[in-house]
Amino acid sequence: MPAEGEGAPVVRLRDAAVVRDGRTVWDDSSFELPAGSVVAVIGPNGSGKTTLLHVLLGLLPARGTVEVLGSRPTRGNRRIGYVPQNYTATTGYAVRARDLVALGLSGDRWGVRPLRAAEHDRVSRALRDVAAAPLADRRVSDLSGGQQQRVAIAQALVDDPPLLLLDEPLANLDMRGQRETVDVLAALNRERGVTMLVVAHDLNPLLSVLTGAIYLLDGHAHYAGVDAVVDAELLSHLYGTQVKVVRTAQGDLFTRTA
């Protein structure tokens, strides 16, 4: 396994391309993400944001060079935590938050061996790390959208992966749920040094934690640092509508001009 020192990129693409059902989703894409980054993945609907996550997870093949944590993407990589889109819609009434998180540790294990004490501790710790310890014994369906999102993050996190992929974690959350989720992500990045790719439609709630963004534009994936991304001209091009960047005391904000 290649060395993975301080400077080694967590994700590296070189002349990468994805073809799906005979259609090129994006191609000619090259970038490197440094360890510890928090990167938004932005772009119009259908531009291949989820596709990028699936490529990194090894669920979809890509052409060119793709490296994740120093090796080619393969399914079943325990060093990547994944929170899919609409996570909350598929989880149910029949299990507790704790059970769902435990599946992140043992869900790919065959046979009947119950969890060990140390594994129970890791489940509790993951729930604590996302500020969801008091929710451990609640039914998942009884939790609010924001709470369910945090439980999903705990499940992705329970195996201590250095890389977290989150697909629209802020969609369908109210402002409080968004803020709580972003706070959890910020703390994970700060305290555990977890590198994150966050698919998002709205950058505003994430701006305080972002170090950069991958933007899918004109059929290619580009990477830029956060200062370059929060640029009215680029954002206007990206969203196909006039966007204005407003500098405020609390940080940058961008709005759609009427």
Partner 1 sequence: MSAQLAAVGYQHDWWEVLGAPFMRNALVGGTIVALVAGLIGYLVIVRASSFAAHALGHIGFPGATGAVLLGMPVTLGLLVFCVLGGLAIGVLGRRAGDREIATGTVLAFAMGLGILFASLSSRSTGVVTSVLFGNLLAISTGQLWAFAGFALAIVVVLGIVFRPLLFASLDAEVAAARAVPVRALGVVFMLLLALTVTMAVQVVGTLLLFALVVTPAATAVMWTPRPSRAVAAAVALSIGAVWAGLVLAAMFNLPVSFVVVSLAFLAWLATWVGARRTRRVGDPHLRRAHDAAHAG
Give the residues lining the site for partner 1 (CB under 8 A): 57-59, 74-76, 78, 80, 82-84, 87, 90-96, 99-100, 103-104, 106-112, 137-139, 142, 155-156
Q: Which helix (H) or strand (E) holds 153?
A: helix 145-157
Q: What angle do CA 77, 78, 79 make, to 5 degrees?
A: 90
Cβ proximity to partner 1: between 165 and 207 the closer is: 165
Q: 6: exposed, middle or buried (C-beta count within 10 Å: 0-12, 13-18, 19+)?
A: exposed
Q: Shortest gap between Cβ of 87 and partner 1 (angstroms)?
A: 8
Do the Cβ atoms of 40 and 206 come closer than 8 Å? Answer: yes
Closest CA to 82 of 34, 12, 153, 11: 153
Q: Shortest gap between Cβ of 136 and partner 1 (angstroms)?
A: 11
Q: Shortest gap between Cβ of 106 and partner 1 (angstroms)?
A: 6
Do the Cβ atoms of 163 and 80 come closer than 8 Å? Answer: yes
Cβ proximity to partner 1: between 144 and 236 the closer is: 144
Q: Shortest gap between Cβ of 59 and partner 1 (angstroms)?
A: 6
Cβ proximity to partner 1: between 16 and 156 the closer is: 156
Cβ proximity to partner 1: between 25 and 151 the closer is: 151
